[in-house]
Structure 1
Amino acid sequence: MTLLTNKNAIIYGAGGAIGAAVSEEFAREGARVHLVGRRLSTVEPVASRITAAGGLAEVAEVDALDESAVRLHADEVASRFGTVDVSFSLVSVGDVQGTPIVEMSLRDFERPVHNQVRSLFTTAKAAAPHMIRQRSGVILTFGGLGDPLRDYHIGGFVVGLGAAETMRRQLAAELGKHGVRVVGITTGGLPETLPDAFEGAAEIKESLHEATMTGRAAELSDVAAIAAFAASDKARTVTASTINMTAGAIVN
């Protein structure tokens, strides 16, 4: 039996590189994946690949920052398919990187903090009532924190990650008694997701690999595989923690 047979997984930001990789892996592992994006045009190609491979996929146009829309969609998934088993927000948070914090505008600094915290709040809050009723479910978060790197300017993005980490711990503490797990996934950076046209892309990609103990940073396929495991019953004792898949770039 596959890892996620008969599970309903809602993936927010499923049209992005990470969201698509996770969605396709979840489908291969037997889940019915509910692909959510701000525009259907971003998630429909992912759904087409999943269904062409024999998987189960639904699509929805929902802004993860819209609390009412997120709740209505989660309620619809539960009503139509019986459960909400996994919730994973992988939405873009609008971060500006490469500029020192003290040179950023307030708007650019606070945007990723606001978007990261709000999207996790809205999606977790929408899924939680159904998971509490079921007495099972997994809320996954993506990001993580390590020691700041000299001359590596990621602005408000890292502040948003810190806030999300705090929220992950609090959610785990509140939801654990209901049988709901909250698990973070930390990569330390994914070279594949950095466009080659980005200034200094080659040097940044090389630095991400060099920062590891193994000489190889995580790939999208690694994230997808770890996320599928974390969402599965095989990880039933894992909660209130992060899975460190940084290959030693971040030491816990």
Structure 2
Amino acid sequence: MTLLDGKNAIVYGAAGRIGTAVATAFAGEGARVFLTGRSRARLDEVAGRIRAAGGLAETAEVDALDERAVDEHAAAVGAVDVSVNLIGHGDVQGTPLVDMAVADYERPVLTAVRTQFLTARAAARQMISRQRPGAILFFGGAADPVREFAVGGLQVAFHALEAMRRQLAAELGQYGIRTVTLRTGGITETLPAEMPGRAELAENIAGKTMLGRAATLADVGAVAAFVASDQAASMTAATVNISCGALVD
């Protein structure tokens, strides 16, 4: 028996590299995955690979910043057991705060807070109405500022999401709904190939870990599947460290 047999999991931003890894891991553990995003063609490619491997996958174009679209899709899925939001936040990195435009600074904060609120609320409403305990996963996690990287408003966004996650855990625990954040400290596989200084940044990320390597996409998917499963039924109001020791709790 696999970890997520009989469970329905919505993955927002499923066409991205992290979203694809998580959706693939969920499907590999027996979940029916509902892949959402704004590019149907890319979603269908991911779904095709999952089905070819024997998994169950459905796709839908959903703008995770659109309240009606999110609510209607979750209602159509109905029996939601797992929800994870992995859409991009539009953050600008590499620019010092003193040189950054206010729109670039606030965009990841506004985007992250709005989308995670909408998707978590939609999932929780379905879980409550159907008396179906489940898991809502967050990604990123708050961390101390890193001096050598100019990350703009991204860490502010992560801190805001952690506050939301803690509040949701407090309010939803009575329904058996869990909220957990996955933290990685950086996944070098997601760095664009054409990114200036990519090799140096990848080496820097790995060099800050205790294991001498960065977390992989496969690592993230495997841990996400475990956290979403009943094997982790006692885990809520928590962060899970997948950083290979780069982040010290």
TM-score range, shorter chain: over 0.9
**Structure-2 separation of matches of 1:144 and 1:23:** 20
Consecutive unaligned residues of structure 2, counting only runs of 5 or more, are none
Matched to 1:178, the amino acid is Y
Alignment of 1:25-36 (within 5 A): 25-36=25-36
**Structure-1 separation of matches of 2:9 and 2:68:** 19
Query: Helix, strand or coil: the match of 2:153?
Result: helix
- Give yes or no for the alignment of 1:205 onto 2:210: no
Q: What is the Cα deviation at residue 14 of structure 1?
A: 0.1
- Give yes or no for the alignment of 1:162 onto 2:147: no
Q: What is the Cα deviation at residue 42 of structure 1?
A: 2.1
Verify the 8 A CA contact 2:138 2:165 in the aligned structure 1: yes
**Structure-1 separation of matches of 2:71 and 2:97:** 34
In structure 2, the partner of 1:46 is 46
In structure 2, the partner of 1:19 is 19
Query: Helix, strand or coil: the match of 2:240?
Result: strand
In structure 2, the partner of 1:118 is 114
Matched to 2:74, the amino acid is A
**Structure-1 separation of matches of 2:99 and 2:171:** 38
Alignment of 1:189-228 (within 5 A): 189-228=186-225
Q: What is the Cα deviation at residue 209 of structure 1?
A: 0.3
Verify the 8 A CA contact 1:112 1:156 in the aligned structure 2: yes
Question: Which 4+ residue blocks in structure 1 deviate beyond 6 angstroms?
Answer: none
**Structure-1 separation of matches of 2:181 and 2:50:** 25
Q: What is the Cα deviation at residue 38 of structure 1?
A: 1.1
Deviates more, 1:193-202 or 1:215-224: 193-202
Structure 1 residues 112-148: Cα deviation after superposition (integer angstroms, max 9, x where no partner): 1111111100001111111113240100000012221
Residue-pair matches, total: 248
Structure 1 residues 182-228: Cα deviation after superposition (integer angstroms, max 9, x where no partner): 01000001000001211111111111001111111100000000000
**Structure-2 separation of matches of 1:17 and 1:39:** 14
In structure 2, the partner of 1:249 is 246
Verify the 8 A CA contact 2:143 2:155 in the aligned structure 1: no
**Structure-1 separation of matches of 2:52 and 2:210:** 38
Q: What is the Cα deviation at residue 67 of structure 1?
A: 0.8
Q: What is the Cα deviation at residue 18 of structure 1?
A: 0.3
Aligned-pair identity (%): 58
- Give yes or no for the alignment of 1:105 onto 2:101: yes
**Structure-2 separation of matches of 1:120 and 1:244:** 20
Structure 1 residues 76-124: Cα deviation after superposition (integer angstroms, max 9, x where no partner): 001xxxx100000000111111101111111111111111111100001
**Structure-2 separation of matches of 1:209 and 1:238:** 28
TM-score, with structure 1 as normaliser: 0.97
Verify the 8 A CA contact 1:12 1:36 in the aligned structure 2: yes
Q: What is the Cα deviation at residue 246 of structure 1?
A: 1.1
Verify the 8 A CA contact 2:81 2:132 in the aligned structure 1: no
- Give yes or no for the alignment of 1:183 onto 2:163: no
Q: What is the Cα deviation at residue 247 of structure 1?
A: 1.6
**Structure-2 separation of matches of 1:50 and 1:130:** 25
In structure 2, the partner of 1:55 is 55
In structure 1, the partner of 2:3 is 3
**Structure-2 separation of matches of 1:145 and 1:201:** 23
Verify the 8 A CA contact 2:135 2:178 in the aligned structure 1: yes
Verify the 8 A CA contact 2:140 2:184 in the aligned structure 1: yes
Q: What is the Cα deviation at residue 149 of structure 1?
A: 1.4
Verify the 8 A CA contact 1:196 1:202 in the aligned structure 2: no
